[in-house]
Amino acid sequence: MNTTIPTTELFWVILVCYVFFVLGAGLFFARNNKSTEDFFFGGRRFSWWLIAMSMLATGVGSHSFAKYASKGFEYGFSSTMTYMNDWFFMPLLLFGWIPIIYYMQVNSIPEYFQRRFNSTVRNLSTFTMLLYLVGYIGIGLLALGSLLQPILGWEINTIIIVVAVISGIYVSLGGQTAIIFTDFLQGVILLFAGLLIFGLGIAYVGGFDSFWGNLSIANKLPLADFNSPPDFNFAGIFWQDGVVGSVGFAFMNQAVIMRFLAARSVVHARRATMMNVLVFLPIGTVAVSNSGWIGRAIVNFDSGLTGMYHSAGSSIFTRWGTHFSSTIPETTDPNGIFTVVAGIVSGSEAIFAFLVAAVVAALMSSLDSQINASAAVAVNDIYTPLSKNPSEKTRLRVSMFTSLLVTFIGIKGCFSI
């Protein structure tokens, strides 16, 4: 019995068309880059709705589908608690941090630290920021490779190189403008795909009542136990993500800061933040977590825990001319549950290819932002202070080259993980 998802011509056509669209966007928007202001901040002219969706796409990567689906499979609805704490810090972000960095017209977090403190703090911040951003790139690539390897049948290293090269090319050509516009589309794709899996999954298990009935009481709780288990408890995860996720990501992540600075005004930056936190993030939580919930419902049914029925009616079914198991063993690796559930509930190769493209979109929408942010820090905080009054044209060329260099370093770092 074959448990590998088949990939025929239709599957590859959909993925290849998506890749060419992304590269085409990079080439199209490259003509708008006349300066580093355009390359890194898109001319500071974007409306709040574009910024908001781009911020969501930056925060939700392929690692999100892997991580939160995994936690949803292991612990149920409490996988959403890592998204429940952003609103705590919204007043400080809206009325403190955003106006400060916008009106100061800083180009990077390290530059702010020099203005606030001194050059030593700037140098330390530059080192730690680049270390974080390049590491983020490597982890994202590794997560995507792990998700796609069972589908494509390629070596993980090959997948990493191909995706990184595609992302590096269109970021190096199109800069922030290409990132924001492609992230908007990619954000729509990943949200729609995540919610589509939820709808298909509920239909697969026989409706919402059947889905809900096949979850244990613990699976239905929105918060995990207060201090157990050690690796996923309320006290640790909720406040850990509140400090590192909300404060660290929204206040100190260079890629997010560049979104604020790309807005046409402080008002638009504030609107984008409110839309992201109050609307897009809750929807995104469901989108990235639900395949884990669906997988747990199928496991509980197959274990005979509830006695309810799903619509497959059998543990073996035929899809795309190949036999598959519609069961999910309890021993299934949680990190791969998204791929497993997507293959079971998709119903057609076209839908499955779209879901895979959504995961690729999620990775690219995070990867492109981190590449651009890394290049911004390298050029603004290392190259420019050390060079002797470089022309704007030279700085732009260095910025484009640095984007490619950062991509290469990210690949090397991924292989070292």
CATH of the domain at 77: 1.20.1730.10
Q: Count CB atoms within 10 A of the CB of residue 387.
A: 12
Least confident of 6-15, 134-143, 257-266: 6-15
Task: Tell me the three-class secondary structure of the chain, residue by residue.
Answer: CCCCCCCCHHHHHHHHHHHHHHHHHHHHHHHHCCCHHHHHHCCCCECHHHHHHHHHHHHCCHHHHHHHHHHHHHHHHHHHHHHCCHHHHHHHHHHHHHHHHHHHCCCCHHHHHHHHCCHHHHHHHHHHHHHHHHHHHHHHHHHHHHHHHHHHCCCHHHHHHHHHHHHHHHHHHHHHHHHHHHHHHHHHHHHHHHHHHHHHHHHHCCCHHHHHHCCCHHHHCCCCCCCCCCCCCHHHHHHHHHHHHHHHHHHHCHHHHHHHHHECCHHHHHHHHHHHHHHHHHHHHHHHHHHHHHHHHHHHHHCCCCCCCCCCCCCEEEECCEEEECCCCCCCCHHHHHHHHHHHHCCCHHHHHHHHHHHHHHHHHHHHHHHHHHHHHHHHHHHHHHCCCCCHHHHHHHHHHHHHHHHHHHHHHHHHC
Domain count, the chain: 1
Structural domain harbouring 228: 9-29+41-416
Q: In the chain, pLDDT over 70 holds for what percent of residues?
A: 88
pLDDT of residue 326: 56
Please check whether residue 36 lies inside any domain of the structure: no
pLDDT beyond 90 at 255? no
Of residues 231 and 376, the one with the higher pLDDT is: 376
pLDDT of residue 8: 64
Please check whether residue 175 lies inside any domain of the structure: yes
Please check whether residue 1 lies inside any domain of the structure: no
Average pLDDT over residues 116-139: 89
Please check whether residue 298 lies inside any domain of the structure: yes
Least confident of 44-53, 60-69, 89-98, 334-343: 60-69
pLDDT bucket at 271, cuts 50 / 70 / 90: very high
Please check whether residue 199 lies inside any domain of the structure: yes
pLDDT of residue 113: 93
Please check whether residue 156 lies inside any domain of the structure: yes
Please check whether residue 275 lies inside any domain of the structure: yes
Please check whether residue 388 lies inside any domain of the structure: yes
Residues 343, 348, 350, 354, Cα dihedral to 10°: -40
